[in-house]
A and B are shown apart, each in its own frame.
Chain A
Amino acid sequence: MSSVLPPDHPDPDLLADLAADVLPTHQARVVEAHVMACSSCYALLTDAAQVRELLLRDDPGPMPPDVLARLESVIQIEAAARDGLAEHPVPSPPTPQPVRAPAPQPGTDRSQPAPARPDQAQPNRSRPGQAQPYAQPAGRLPRNPLTPAAGTTRADGVPHGEPSLFTTPQAPVQPPPRTPTQPVRVVTPWDDTTTIEAYEAARRRQTARRPEESASSAAAATAGAGPAARTRGPRLSRPSRGPSRSRRDLRQEIRDVRAGKRGTVLAAAAGVVVLVGLGGYVVVGLLGNRETGSASTAASSVQSLDAPRPGAAAGGPPVLSTGTDYTQAALGTQARTLVKQVDGTGPRTMAAKGAAAGTSPSAAPGTTTATSAQADGGNVSLQDPKALNGCLSALQAGGRRPVAVDLARYEGREAAIIVLNGINGGYEVWAVARDCRPGADGTITYLSLAN
């Protein structure tokens, strides 16, 4: 938006802002004076006001049945996976909190009664050590899940953690979970009863600092789609929850515990670590990445400049400098090779494998060394976990932990290859500029790899 009026007519955006009543008073007066005297600008605003009518008439129709079927099947797969994760003992948080649940609405119209469906999940969601408020046959939806939910104290005893979707790194206000059993924090005005308005006011205070245009991307990056945008600090003192918390939460907490960051970590959180250690399948896989990644880091002299911290691998992801020249054609294969390397399944053989997989010859064997990484000199920035996190934020993947980062080349140019676990399994592979940072992610290409 320009604050200077062009000689003839104000910029349409300025006119729009006048109509939206968001201009500063002095500017509004100037623009308004013009509009009152200019029939064409006046007409434009009149038309704009009518656009809404037109837009409201637009009807995209209901969700097509095939889309619904697809979404439901994906959700079923998720549910099955979650049950797999939940089959291990979990410390059950005590639940002395009085029921605060909204009264169930026995007669409520369930506009879409769930049909019985074949059980695609585990035969039984047995969770030893935990009460099962829904002891129904596996895979069956109780006729009305509202009723049991409201009738059990567990429904309220399990705190809903703070809303990751509403958390930003700079969030000055941390909504504390309401759990009397977790003596973690002082209760702030934010709790389940907080109104949207109060939330919104706080939200405004946060967002007011942001430049207008970067606001959407920043918000998307920090608020993110669920776990994809996890922030580190604010999540630490979330008390333990049931076994169904997201795996990314678990990952984050494990990471934090290992890094010694969770000074106030509760025994229950440690229990989560045990749970993971025992073998939630996805988490173990991820954790395995990290563990073996660190092993291979040592074994293959892959440089990780995360060293200042003891047990460096407990902090940042493996940042390699393999010297590979990634190519568009072979990016998928090369990324998988990279992942294998940090997995420890193929240490030292990266270059050879890469060559076999179509890597450019520039990936000379032996470049996977500490000296290579150090030779990058000024390009160490992404080896700094903070810089890496900044880059991930720019990619709207803030808070996610890369499976691997390779300060290498892409199509002959210096680039950083970042491999993330895909939201739906598989991997996301980004090739970005080495100086990838907030506001300038320098994305060269993106590839989504299936499992």
Chain B
Amino acid sequence: MTTHPGYPPAADDRARRDQEDRALLRAHVLGDQQAFTELVRRHRDRLWAVALRTLGDREEAADALQDALVSAFRSAGTYRGEAAVTTWLHRVVVNACLDRVRRRKARPTVPLGAIEVPSRGDDHGRTETRLDVQAALATLPEGQRAAIVLVDMQDMSVAEAAIVLGVAEGTVKSRCSRGRTALAQLLRAAAGQNPSAYGGNRARHPHVAGAETARVEGVGGPATTGGAGQ
């Protein structure tokens, strides 16, 4: 995938792709052995991005995707097409991820997911951004995190995210905005230690509310806070 996963295709392209998705799903329901695999391939990068960003851990993301896709495989016959296939798939994946977040809470002895470490080939700036963002995301309540991931990172519309998350649009807006505000505070605090990490308005207002500062100590550098926020 050469384009940024956050950029959705143009509207007509989306509609066309959804028609293809629906055809594949029908083929799958009718017994076609490869149609579902094909469907997964068409959406793999975006679904991967959602899972990775929501869970913050590569293995957990893979596990969640596996759960989700098996579930989708089996329940494909119940898809009726109110929403786009990709919306449906996202919903299954997001639910699987949130399910894992919740289970992780029920098993506090299991190590929390470590921050995803980007591959070595990444350029330095991007690596730093990734660490910053992922560490900051991990501190958000999962509801806010999921909304932020969908709307701000996957560039999904609020309406679609509301369907995916099963909440009202106003709730999505509120969660996104709250998440952004919390991230702004976090990243601003981080930027106080590593000015290159964040180019916001810190010069004007270096510290508005530093309540979360401690949680992002060192975020701008190689050390991270682990799975803080769970």
Contact = CB atoms under 8 A, between A and B. Distances in A.
Interface of A: 9, 12-13, 15-17, 19-22, 39-41, 43-52, 54-64, 67-68, 70-72, 74-76, 78-79, 82-83, 86, 101-102, 104-105, 108, 110-112, 114, 117, 121, 125, 127, 132-134, 138-142, 145-146, 148-150, 154-155, 158-166, 168, 175, 177, 190-192, 194, 196-197, 199-200, 203-204, 207-208, 210, 212-213, 215-220, 222-229, 238, 241-249, 396, 423-424, 443-446
B62 interface: yes
Given A134-B27, A200-B162, A242-B77, A142 B32 contact: yes
13 contacts: A50-B201, A51-B152, A60-B49, A61-B118, A71-B44, A72-B40, A74-B69, A141-B38, A200-B169, A216-B98, A216-B142, A242-B29, A244-B28
Contacts of A175: 80, 82
A114 B42 CA distance: 11
Contacts of A177: 80
Contact of B180 (A39, A52, A145): A52
Contact of A203 (B119, B162, B178): B162
A423 B80 contact: no
Contacts of B23: 101-102, 104, 145-146, 149-150, 155
A134 to B, nearest CB: 5
A9 B210 CA distance: 13
Given A48-B177, A60-B48, A67-B62, A225 B77 contact: no
Contacts of B160: 196
Given A48-B183, A140-B34, A223-B91, 19 more contacts: A12-B182, A16-B179, A45-B181, A60-B53, A61-B118, A64-B58, A72-B37, A75-B37, A108-B16, A111-B42, A134-B32, A145-B23, A163-B78, A166-B163, A200-B159, A220-B98, A225-B95, A244-B31, A423-B70
Contacts of A241: 29, 77
B31 A145 contact: no
Given A48-B180, A62-B45, A196 B52 contact: no
Contact of B153 (A55, A67, A192, A396): A55
B84 interface: yes
Among the interface residues B22, B77, B87, B199, which one has the most CB atoms of the partner chain A within 10 A?
B77
A20 B173 contact: yes
Nearest to A328: B109
Contacts of A220: 95, 98-99, 102, 166
Given A165-B78, A199-B163, A246-B74, A114 B34 contact: yes
Main secondary structure of the interface of B (DSSP, over half): helix
Given A44-B185, A163-B88, A396-B102, A141 B32 contact: yes
Interface string B1-37: 1001110000000001001101111111111111111
Contacts of B155: 56
Given A56-B155, A217-B102, A71 B65 contact: yes
Nearest to B4: A59
A52 B155 CA distance: 10
Contacts of A242: 29-31, 77
B133 A55 contact: yes
Nearest to B121: A61
B120 interface: no
The 9 closest A-B pairs by CB, nearest first: A219-B166, A141-B34, A226-B71, A226-B75, A20-B177, A63-B48, A246-B74, A43-B205, A47-B184
Contacts of B103: 446
B84 A196 contact: yes
Given A48-B184, A196-B159, A78 B73 contact: yes
Contacts of A54: 129, 133, 187, 198
A212 B170 CA distance: 10
B209 A44 contact: yes
B194 interface: no
B92 A165 contact: yes
B37 A108 contact: no
Contacts of B82: 163, 166, 175, 190, 192, 194, 196, 199
B200 interface: yes
Contacts of B81: 160, 163, 192
Nearest to A141: B34
B214 interface: no
Nearest to A132: B31
A165 B177 contact: no
B28 to A, nearest CB: 8
Among the interface residues A13, A114, A165, which one has the most CB atoms of the partner chain B within 10 A?
A165
Interface string B39-78: 0111011011100110000100110011111111111111
A70 B173 contact: no
Contact of B178 (A13, A132, A216, A238): A13
Contacts of B124: none
A145 B24 contact: yes
A12 B187 contact: no
Contacts of B200: 46-47, 50-51
